[in-house]
Amino acid sequence: MELDWSFWVAIALGIAYLVILTGEICRLILDNRNPVHTLAWLVVLVTMPFIGIFLFYSLGMNYRKRKIFSRKGLGDLKWLSYMSEDQRDMLKKQKILKGKRLATERKLMTLLLNNNKALLTANNSIAVYNNGVNSFEAIFSAIERAASFVHLEFYIVEEGELATRLFSLLLSKLKQGVEVRFIYDDVGSWKLSTEFVEQLRGAGAKMYPFLPLRIHRKKANYRNHRKIVVVDGEVAFMGGVNVADRYIYGSSIGRWRDTLLKIEGEAIASLQVIFMIDWYFVSQEVLLDRAHYFPSIPCEGETMAQIVSSGPDSEWDSIRQAYVAMVNMAENHVYISTPYFMPGDVMLNALKSAAMCGVDVRLMLPFNSDSFLTNWCSRSYIEELLIAGVRVFLFKPGINHSKVVSIDGRIAAVGSANMDLRSLEQNFEVSMIVYDRNVVEVVESDYSDDISLSIEIKLEEWLKRPKMMQVKESVSRLFAPLL
């Protein structure tokens, strides 16, 4: 009996599929990733025929080792190495800390110089904003005074009242001859229409999406989660705030609480460098050799700070290392606020160890979340944290979107990085480490206010939660490396 040709086609396709599947599994194993990540992707590849390969190709490729892009076209960055080397020598001799009473912070400062070339800046003035209304009023006020350039970088730009006001303001500055450069993430800003973007481009703004999916599909998992605004090199902003109306009006979940830093002083140059590296990637335009983007402007502030970045282009997981170092340094308390909590084993063990050493470790998560899967996954860690002595709070009024870690009233990290595997391993992120008791006092005061609006989870009550909730948590946690 003669077999139908479709049978042989099916056999050929099956063989081809098995060859491709075997190749992807070998690639996954040879990457030498965290075993938990490897096993999670193996489950996806084996149990989801065809779809699993597509997901792995789109979301699971490890570009950190391969370098997602090269910095060779950025000109001479040796000055960063020279300056960080000089600072390392000064820190060893503690000369740079003379009179600052910051000798105990020296190890963290040195870590960030070594893993990220994060220059230690001494003359800064930093203001802390704790809601979207005040944050954007401050940003708009700074842009209104712009005379030379405005550089912006956001993960989410969502059409609405806030985006319309921002774009109108930028159009006005373009007419005055001010340069405008704008980076938005192609996935985070997927709702942003071409018409909305073209009105700025048509007026002369340079505006680019980061890793557009139509071009970089196999790198779709690597997103630019940074939020940066630099105006004339005189004032800058960074934190967790995106351009979306929910930051001023809230959403169906409730109000969106976030933290933004306004920076004046030496640290702006470091933030500008991070923006310019991203700008080179999206536009191939080199800006680092143009001195007028780095004006020397005296600042009367005395706040010491480092700007640290991380991403698939980084040699080290710089922000994760900073978080772990801070927790290990804490002697009195650790306060953490993050909307998504999937910390990985190293961070998780650091928190549990600190609590078991008698440190007051507090973790604040949203009571309700904008992502059910990450919400269940985040809650899967609560039981073991409570057993170790970590105090866990759920923010009731809405979503606390702040990404804050502070210790002992003396060091705070504020930025774009959530305490989850995506932020700490895959996304392009930026954070400021502040060594100033006055600034940290403001951050921790805001944290205390948030605590007063939260409910604390007690272990005996948490253990009584429904079995179905525990199942959802456990199943969701299997996908933590993929979220």
Annotated active-site positions, please? 225, 227, 232, 401, 403, 408
C-alpha closest to that of 433 among 314, 200, 276, 267: 267
Sign (positive or negative) of CA dihedral 373, 378, 381, 387: negative
**Do residues 471 and 408 make contact, with C-beta atoms less than 8 angstroms apart?**
no
Contacts for 193-200 with beta carbons within 8 Å, 24 or more apart?
A: 193/159, 196/159, 196/163, 196/167, 199/167, 199/171, 200/167, 200/170, 200/171, 200/174
Task: Return d(Cα 159, Cα 190) in angstroms, integer.
Answer: 10
Task: Return d(Cα 120, Cα 84) in angstroms, integer.
Answer: 8
**Do residues 422 and 461 make contact, with C-beta atoms less than 8 angstroms apart?**
no
Tracing tokens 């690639």 back to the chain, one arrives at 27
465 CB burial (10 A radius; 0-12, 13-18, 19+): middle
The strand pair at 304-310 and 454-457 is best described as unpaired
Tracing tokens 């600052």 back to the chain, one arrives at 100
C-alpha closest to that of 439 among 292, 251, 283, 304: 304
- Number of residues that make up the chain: 483
What residues contact residue 346 under an 8 Å CB cut-off, 6+ apart? Answer: 320, 324
Quick check: helix, strand or coil at residue 341? strand
Q: What share of the chain is helix, strand, coil (3-state, %, to 5)?
A: 45, 20, 30
Helices (H), 312-371: 318-329, 344-356
The values of phi and psi at residue 106, to 5°, are -60, -40
Amino acid at 57: Y
